[in-house]
Amino acid sequence: MIAERAQRISPFIVMEVLERAQALEAQGEDIIHLEVGEPDFPTPPKIVSAGIEALRQEKTHYTHSLGILPLRQAIADYYSQKYQVEVNADQVIVTMGTSPGLLLVLSALLNPGEEVVLANPGYACYPNFIEHLGGRPVCVNVYEEYGFRLQPAEIKKHLSSKTKAIMINSPANPTGQLLGTRELAAIAEMTPYIISDEIYHGLVYGEVAHSILEFTPRAFVLNGFSKLFAMTGWRLGYIIAPVEFVRPIQKLQQNLFICPNSFVQWAGVCALQEEHPEISRMIQTYDERRRFLIKRLREIGFRIEVEPRGAFYVFANAACFHANSYQFAFELLERAKVAVTPGIDFGTNGEGFLRFSYANSLKNIKIAMERLERYLR
């Protein structure tokens, strides 16, 4: 008999869109992918060389369960230099990606029935992780007219004696919006722990992304190398945790994952300690795509109240075209040959929206917009 938790968990719809798109491609269809949030750039060559050199030096064995000290120190230094916050290497736990990091944090933090407050719409997997561990996600609706930013006054209405944490994501998936210093400072004053997913830091256009650690030490930071350094397949992330949680998280890591990949960690050291001019060019390219995509979506008839300023997503209101974002996304895939993510994947308050990823070439984005315009008209 299949376990209830496995039967109960929701599918990650963006992956189902991708898998259907791949099936169509196998049949000879030409599909343009605007659904997946993955950099389309190669990992910078210095990082690749560092990984290869680590393999040559036979750095292929188990490491310390917290991660190698040179990488933990590099992460601490990076946060100290970038955000002017005091981070000790002893607070850093290196993980095999940010998702395992979230699993470890929630496992160390939540007792059955305890609550985590988070945005709706928000990253699709957050509530699934919380429920999988016996917790309860408490969703706060965020709205397009406010740029989908969590409003501190609304968060307060959802706090209870069972609230264990507030989860934030800035820049956010799926909306690409940032929390400002006013919102972050107000959230930091609230009594629960803060879990801050900062994986899209660095991918910001015309604004500044702030770490929650600038406002409170009572926080868990989740970050990694996948987005900014185009290292999704390397599976390398990290947690910065309050000191008292490091040992519990370490024990969980030992049991669940043993340790992060050895040679990949040395590539991470290079990522943080070396200059990579490719990254600034990558960010400029994303910004060019962002501006073009916003303009064309508006011309076609999609509504975008507040322009996204981070990550690589545009969360566009598609209600004038279709009432059901799930059906609409698959209709566009089958008929217009453009893969996008339905807003319902990100929560009930995402219904009526579609997420467009601009982690694809400007040439392909232009063709995709032509296909959508032709089909919708």
Domain end point (choices 241, 273, 305) = 273
In a domain, 331, yes or no: yes
Domain at 283, CATH number: 3.90.1150.10
The closest alpha carbon to 67, from 193, 183, 216, 224, belongs to 224
The closest alpha carbon to 236, from 269, 206, 195, belongs to 269
> Distance between CA 363 and CA 221 in Å, rounded?
36
Owning domain of residue 318: 4-42+277-376
pLDDT at res. 369: 98
> pLDDT, tens digit, for every residue of 137-156?
999 999 999 899 999 999 99
Please name the residue that has the structure tokens 């929390």.
179
In a domain, 55, yes or no: no
> pLDDT, tens digit, for every residue of 254-296?
999 999 999 999 999 999 999 999 999 999 999 999 999 999 9
> pLDDT, tens digit, for every residue of 16-30?
999 999 999 999 999
Taking the complete model, does pTM exceed 0.85, yes or no? yes
pLDDT at res. 224: 98
Do 247 and 305 share a domain, yes or no?
A: no
Mean pLDDT of the chain: 97
Please name the residue that has the structure tokens 């006013």.
182
Do 263 and 308 share a domain, yes or no?
A: no
pLDDT at res. 11: 87
The closest alpha carbon to 316, from 148, 105, 114, belongs to 148
Pairing of β 313-317 and β 353-357: antiparallel
pLDDT over threshold 90, residue 39: yes
pLDDT over threshold 90, residue 5: no
Domain at 161, CATH number: 3.40.640.10
> pLDDT, tens digit, for every residue of 76-123?
999 999 999 999 999 999 999 999 999 999 999 999 999 999 999 999
Do 265 and 289 share a domain, yes or no?
A: no
pLDDT at res. 28: 97
Q: Which amino acid is at 135?
A: G
Q: Which amino acid is at 267?
A: A
- In three-state form (DSSP H/G/I as H, E/B as E, the rest C), the secondary structure along 123-171 is CCHHHHHHHHCCCEEEEEECCHHHCCCCCHHHHHHCCCCCEEEEEEECC
> pLDDT, tens digit, for every residue of 206-244?
999 999 999 999 999 999 999 999 999 999 999 999 999
pLDDT category at 336 given cuts 50, 70, 90 is very high
Split into its structural domains, the chain has a count of 2
Q: Provide, for the chain, the percentages of residues in helix, strand and coil under a 3-state DSSP scheme, each rounded to the nearest 5.
A: 45, 15, 40
In a domain, 51, yes or no: no
Do 344 and 309 share a domain, yes or no?
A: yes
Domain end point (choices 273, 296, 331) = 273
Do 346 and 302 share a domain, yes or no?
A: yes
Do 198 and 316 share a domain, yes or no?
A: no
pLDDT over threshold 90, residue 10: no
Q: Phi first, then psi: give them for residue 83, nearest 5 degrees.
A: -115, 0
pLDDT at res. 321: 97
3-state secondary structure of 117: strand
Residue 30 · residue 226 · CB < 8 Å:
no
pLDDT over threshold 90, residue 46: yes
- What region does 126 belong to: left with phi over 0, alpha with psi -120 to 50, or beta? alpha
Residues ≥6 apart with Cβ < 8 Å to 284: none
